[in-house]
Amino acid sequence: MSSDPNALRSRRALLAAAAGGAAAVAASAAAPLTVSAAPTPFLTETANASTAETSLADTGDRTTALRTTNAGVAPALIASNAAGVATTAGESHPTDPGGITSAAGIYAYSVDATDALPYWQTTYTGVYAWAPEYPNPLGGFAQAVWGDSPDVGVFGTAGAVGVRGEGFFGMVASGAFGGTGLRTWGGLGEGNDIALDVRGKALFSRSGRATIAAGQSTKKINVTGVTWSSLVFAVLRSNRSGRYVRAVVPTTGSFTIYLNTSVTSSTYVVWFVVN
């Protein structure tokens, strides 16, 4: 039966360890002052202090470099970056303007960090993550941050902006399995709270322009997803005296625009499907 590694050592073992420790201290005191001190062991259940980098390099393939687990109401891992001495221009990176005192609490990248932001640009950031472009022959796309949950994948709270996206597409939302791509509500979704505030143009795929030919008074337009309960609006785009849209009647997969009477020349009409 193997011995318990956590069992208390005998009195003899403790005395031997103490003697060995005393010898080590004596040898260290006798050593020349020019000899570098040995690395400090990283101890558990204590606040380890250091002025140099402590790193773990795992060169094994398909092995986990570091795993932390925890139970109870406390995080498994906390990473913070407190303000230090301000940088000087170009000190940590050629683009560093100087005066930067901190960086992201967590700086993470996948595969290659060549084009990732330099440390100084991540100041006042809790987590910075970078992933290079996904190789096109393989298809798919790269993602710097992936939040996966049966409830909420990514949740942002703030006094001003909960989630902000910048890029060619600031934000892309897709509803999988017939779900909703984007849902917005203002406040509790009641009263006069604003659910959607658009600055600039808005593009809608379920809108368009059609032509009613001369001598005709109706136009049928096919749109996938339209049902009898859809709200469809249409107005004349051409100035035709005495003519107007009398009704728009939706059905499964299409809707028909009815004018009050036929037109004598080709006439534009624009339409918009709300739901």
| 147 touches 168 (CB < 8 A) | no
CA distances from 208 to 48, 212, 223 (A): 66, 13, 10
Mean pLDDT computed over every residue of the chain: 86
The pLDDT assigned to 28 comes to 46
Residue 32 has pLDDT above 60, yes or no: no
> Measuring CA to CA, which residue among 226, 267, 268, 269 is closest to residue 249?
226
Token pair listed for 33: 């002052």
**pTM metric for this prediction:** 0.72
Cα maximum dimension of the chain: 113
Cβ proximity of 107 and 85 under 8 Å: no
Give pLDDT, residue 78: 94
* Segment 208-246, tens digit of pLDDT: 999 999 999 999 999 999 999 999 999 999 999 999 999
Give residue-wise pLDDT tens across range 60-94: 999 999 999 999 999 999 999 999 999 999 998 99
